[in-house]
Amino acid sequence: MKCDVVRDLLPSYADRLTSGESNREIEKHLKTCEHCRQYYQEMTGEVPEILPKADVKDAALLAGMKKKRKRALLAAAIVIFILAAGGLWTFIGYSVGSSNVLVEDVKLSYGLKDNVAYLTLEPKGGELEFDGFTEKIKDSSGNIIGTRTRLKVQRFRKGLFVEGSMGWESEIEGDDHICEWVLEFSDKTLTIRNGELISEKDTSSLPQD
Ligand SMILES: [Zn+2]
């Protein structure tokens, strides 16, 4: 039986006016055709009795599961999108990272605590790349009296998940011992000796090498 025929018969079927043979045909069709079943349901406001109750329940359950799965997929998509955006942002941060690093881009702390000189650099919203080396400081007689670490700040990389503070520590062995950190920024060169800032040279007017 075709859908339109069934639908023509459904009002009569609902009023129990159709013949036994028609009923069988209609019910056979309703079992296999969801559209007509829905049509019948909307018309009468009831689920056709010919449907086993479990089927209806299963159908509703299935629909619920589909909805849940859709929501889970959406959540996963959002998470992936956020991760991708974060990654992209980090990547952009790396690629637009500046080689022009100013003192003000970094929060500096230094000092001397229990004979240990310390230096901490906290780049504001990014991380730093250095080029550095340590040399020995000798007195006029050639005796080693300390170390000097030169840190040339090469790059400031910004990004959402890019953040790294870095620190150095050095024990001051004896009164004459010197521990020096020379920090070369694009605008200034700072010299920190035994936890104290001893010089701040303006280098912004000098040509960069
Ligand atoms: Zn149909």
CA 45 – CA 167 distance, rounded (Å): 74
Q: Which residue has the tokens 């991380």?
A: 127
Residues 177 and 127 in one domain: yes
- Tens-place pLDDT, residues 88-139: 766 665 656 677 888 988 899 999 998 899 999 888 877 888 888 889 999 8
Residues 120 and 192 in one domain: yes
Separation of CA 171 and ligand 1 centre (Å): 89
CA 96 – CA 159 distance, rounded (Å): 9
CB-CB neighbours of 12 under 10 Å: 14
Share of residues in the chain with pLDDT > 70 (%): 82
Residues 87 and 124 in one domain: no
CA 149 – CA 110 distance, rounded (Å): 14
The amino acid present at 160, given as its one-letter code, is L
Average pLDDT in the 72-81 region?
84
Strands 144-158 and 178-184: parallel
The one-character DSSP state at 40 is H
Separation of CA 39 and ligand 1 centre (Å): 9
Q: Which of 96, 126, 159 is the last residue of a domain?
A: 96
Write down the mean pLDDT value for the chain: 82
CB-CB neighbours of 120 under 10 Å: 15
Is 77 part of a structural domain of the chain?
Answer: yes
Q: Which residue has the tokens 């800032």?
A: 197
Separation of CA 162 and ligand 1 centre (Å): 61
Q: What total number of domains does the chain contain?
A: 3
Residues 86 and 157 in one domain: no
Is 208 part of a structural domain of the chain?
Answer: no
pLDDT recorded at residue 179: 92
pLDDT recorded at residue 45: 77
Separation of CA 54 and ligand 1 centre (Å): 21
Contact of 10 with 43, CB cutoff 8 Å: yes
- Tens-place pLDDT, residues 15-29: 889 899 999 999 999
CB atoms within 5 A of ion ligand 1 belong to 3, 33, 36
- State both tokens at 138: 């000798």
pLDDT recorded at residue 163: 66
What domain range includes position 123?
103-202
CA 170 – CA 146 distance, rounded (Å): 10
- State both tokens at 130: 């250095």
User: 21 vs 49, which has greater pLDDT?
Assistant: 21
Is 130 part of a structural domain of the chain?
Answer: yes
Residues 22 and 68 in one domain: no
